[in-house]
Amino acid sequence: MKIPLTRSRPGALRRPVGALAVAVAATAGTFALSPAVAQAGAAGHHAAAAATTYTFSTLNDQNDPTFNQLLGINSHNVISGYFGSGADAQHPNKGYLLKAPYGQGNYTDENFPGSAQTQVTGLNDLGDTAGFWVTGNGTSHGFVEWNGVFASYNDPKTPHAAGSVNQLLGINTNGVAVGFYTDAAGHSHAYEVNQATRVYTAIKIPGAVSAVATGINNAGYIVGIATDASKVTTSWLLKGGHLTTYQFPGGSDTQAFGINSTDHIVGSYLDGQGVQHGFVLTSPLGPTSHWQKIDDPNGIGSTVVNGINAAGDLAGFYTDAAGNTDGMLAMVTKVMYLQLQSMPTGNISFGTDSSGNLTLTVNAFGFTPGSSHLVQLLEGNNTVVAQFSTLTANGVGQAAATLDSTFNGTVPPGSRVVVYNGTTATKGTPDGEVIAESPNLQNGLPAGSLPLVALENNAQGEGFGIPAGSATVAYSPSAKTLTVTLNASGVDPGMHAAHIHLGSCQNQGGVLYMLMDFTADSNGQIANETRTVTGVTSGIPATGWYLNLHEGTSNNILKNGAPSIFFRPLLCQNL
């Protein structure tokens, strides 16, 4: 629901203070915010949508592998977080930044000068950070590290007492940070602060006893959590002066912790059994909003999502089977679903030359590059009616030619055009395999064109029908892997080479990535076989790649460096 929101703006700070950093409400450490939560109102209409696929990585600073939380991630995939539970002197909170490729050597300490403990709860796309730091007597202060300079920030209304709480939990590229302070009664109060002017703005949530601002994007939209007198907690979004409250459908304790430039909101909630899950909420203001549950595969009912960048990658944490808290990175995996096309494919049409002899015009693609093919017109009993001149494919597997014959008689009903793999029709040889044919002719020659339909036959003349299949191609930027899962039918039993090529099925190019051969069973089926390419440093482009399943194996599709007769594409699709 949307609620008009009023905000009061106190004056600037009474005295200069240092930089500020950001902390997370659901943090399990000593200084984390843990507001009481209950059923909150839901906003907008909700609908199921295709779930985003993620690749999960566990990232822990080995200075304390028992406790790590990742709290923010920016568009450059720099991550903010901290290690140490803060439960005792041996495990203090210590902040850090982490850059790709995310090895132990890529952690950089980020601690407020002179602090006993620090949590870096957020960062912007410029690399500036926010969070909070804690003194030796347990007093916490917000901080921002801006252009390499730390400054501490306390809302002026914070009680002046040991153990008082100020935390900053998010910062945008305009230098506006958000967080909260706790009053003497233990109630939280949300605010924003401009790091340059040091002007604080109170964020008043109607009906709230406690309110926390947890994240802010570059447009100034703020998310947070509010708890009323009945201890019901509502997650909220403040955008353009209007407040919208949220609850995961069917869940409780929904807490929003971050928002990105496309208004994707992340956080956590409890299901009906009290199990904690992370979430991503898209289109929060509708007209239709979409919720997706996030669970780290290694988590034991304890996933929390704290940060999200412009690409939709997630940072957070989970609890593992050993009871350790582990940093979680979930990067969006680009997944493409391909309906594979049988090769070769195209059209044929009939004509006559000046002598009245039958001609055949072929426009097709998906042949072996540079290959030559015998083409015949056969009766239903496979008697040759006409033999045409040789069909030759060019260097990218295209064939566009008008073929001559010496036939000028009447075409028997039920005749069909067949294309062989090579230049002879000798049965029991690779050359003699039929790789494509037309539909049967009825009532003489058709006036228009006919499709050329691909077929798969082995050297013994056994037919497996029309090759068909589908594939899923997924790219993981964090793992730098390209994963291909293939299903196919109507192919020759045995092994088949497969590659991701440059170019397209219509304009074949060189091999980009080799895949380990796929294996078809005795029925000519490939069932859900997966192959993974490692070391892939760039994602799937919008155009320029295609997936190709060949007739032969990796050992015989080339001869003297050129495509052999076994190179023939069986199934193909552009990525």
Rounded Cα distance, 259 and 243, in Å:
15
* pLDDT number for residue 50: 60
Asked if 182 and 190 count as a contact pair (C-beta separation under 8 A), the reply is no
Please say whether the dihedral angle defined by the alpha carbons of residues 434, 438, 442 and 447, taken in this order, is positive or negative.
negative
For residue 90, the SS3 value is coil
Rounded Cα distance, 498 and 486, in Å:
10
- For 169, list phi and psi in degrees, rounded to 5: -120, -10
Name 197's Cβ contacts closer than 8 Å, sequence gap at least 6: 12
| Residue written as token pair 């998010």 | 170
For residue 318, the SS3 value is strand
2-332 with 345-454: one CATH topology?
no
Strand (E) positions, 383-493?
A: 384-387, 391-392, 398-403, 416-420, 434-437, 450-454, 468-476, 481-489
One pLDDT digit (tens) per residue for the chain, 575 residues? 333 333 332 222 222 222 222 233 333 232 233 332 222 234 444 444 567 889 899 999 999 999 999 999 999 999 999 999 999 999 999 999 999 889 999 999 999 999 999 999 999 999 999 999 999 999 999 999 999 999 999 999 999 999 999 999 999 999 999 999 999 999 999 999 999 999 999 999 999 999 999 999 999 999 999 999 998 888 999 998 899 999 999 999 899 999 999 999 999 999 999 999 999 999 999 888 999 999 999 998 899 999 999 989 999 999 999 999 999 999 888 889 999 999 999 999 999 999 999 999 999 999 999 999 999 999 988 999 999 999 999 999 999 999 999 999 999 999 999 999 999 999 889 999 999 999 999 888 898 999 999 998 866 667 788 999 999 999 987 678 899 999 999 999 999 999 999 999 999 999 999 999 999 999 999 999 999 999 998 888 889 999 999 999 999 999 999 999 999 999 999 99
Q: What CATH homologous superfamily does 345-454 map to?
A: Superoxide dismutase, copper/zinc binding domain (2.60.40.200)
| Residue written as token pair 């997650």 | 235
Domain ranges of the chain: 2-332, 345-454, 468-574
Query: Would the pTM count as exceeding 0.75?
Result: no
* pLDDT number for residue 461: 66
| Residue written as token pair 């494509």 | 436
Name 50's Cβ contacts closer than 8 Å, sequence gap at least 6: none
Q: C-alpha angle with apex 440: 436 to 442, nearest 5 degrees?
A: 155
* pLDDT number for residue 513: 96
For residue 430, the SS3 value is helix
What is the second-level CATH architecture of the domain 468-574? Sandwich (2.60)
On the 0-12 / 13-18 / 19+ scale of CB atoms within 10 A, 112 is buried
Asked if 195 and 172 count as a contact pair (C-beta separation under 8 A), the reply is no
412: cis peptide before it, omega within 30°? no
* pLDDT number for residue 432: 92
Q: What is the largest CA-CA distance in the chain?
A: 107
Rounded Cα distance, 396 and 357, in Å:
30
* pLDDT number for residue 41: 35
What is the second-level CATH architecture of the domain 2-332? 6 Propeller (2.120)
